[in-house]
């Protein structure tokens, strides 16, 4: 039996359709950057870092806004007496591994030399509301917990 030109055209279209369906089925994984975008969305919000260092209690509140801006306020107390307060702002993003921040204002002033107005922490989530930031430059870990918007240090 000899196939007609119309039969061959139908077979080609069927074959092409099957190939296309197979290629689309193989594309069930999201793009590589979707996980980074999901983590960036998870990072958005207000975070508290509460710790003691050399007998001084430090509370840092970090607000990561969806537009890529951040604010950071901190308060240090020694035996319940205020020893220091700071307020910083800047820009942030998550690169797939690190939470990166660039400070544009440190205590109301534009950063200048020799200040290094950048910080990067490798992020590891302990839960939806807690992450550990690994500072590979200073070789330390910091822990942040999600808190209610409007929380002050």
Identify which of 125, 147, 123, 145 has the alpha carbon closest to the alpha carbon of residue 49: 145
In eight-state DSSP terms, residue 30 is P
Buried-state track 40-54, b at ≥16 Cβ within 10 A, e below 16: bebbbbbbbbeeeee
Q: What is the pLDDT of residues 35-54, one digit of tens each?
A: 889 999 999 999 999 999 88
Q: Do residues 61 and 151 lie in contact, with contact meaning Cβ atoms separated by under 8 Å?
A: yes
Between 16-30, 56-70, 83-97, the lowest mean confidence (pLDDT) is in 16-30
What pLDDT does residue 24 have?
47
What pLDDT does residue 14 have?
55
Q: What is the pLDDT of residues 91-146, one digit of tens each?
A: 999 999 999 999 999 999 999 877 779 999 999 999 999 999 999 888 999 999 99
Q: Where does the pLDDT of residue 20 fall: very low under 50, low under 70, confident under 90, or very high at 90 and above?
A: very low
What pLDDT does residue 5 have?
63
What pLDDT does residue 9 have?
55
**Under 8 Å CB-to-CB from 52, ≥6 apart: which residues?**
58
Whole-structure pTM value? 0.76
What pLDDT does residue 149 have?
97
């Amino acid at each position: 039996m000899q196939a007609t030109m119309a039969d061959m055209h139908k077979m080609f279209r069927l074959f092409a359709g099957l190939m296309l369906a197979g290629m689309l089925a193989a594309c069930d994984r999201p793009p590589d950057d979707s996980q980074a975008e999901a983590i960036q969305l998870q990072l958005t919000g207000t975070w508290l870092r509460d710790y003691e260092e050399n007998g001084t209690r430090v509370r840092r509140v970090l607000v990561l806004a969806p537009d890529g801006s951040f604010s950071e306020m901190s308060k240090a107390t020694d035996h319940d007496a205020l020893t220091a307060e700071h307020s910083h702002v800047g820009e942030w993003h998550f690169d797939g591994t690190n939470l990166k921040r660039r400070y544009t204002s440190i205590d109301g002033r534009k950063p200048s030399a020799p200040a290094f107005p950048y910080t990067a922490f490798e992020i590891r989530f302990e839960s939806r509301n807690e992450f550990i930031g690994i500072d590979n430059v200073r070789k330390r870990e910091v822990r942040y917990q999600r808190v209610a918007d409007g929380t002050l240090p």
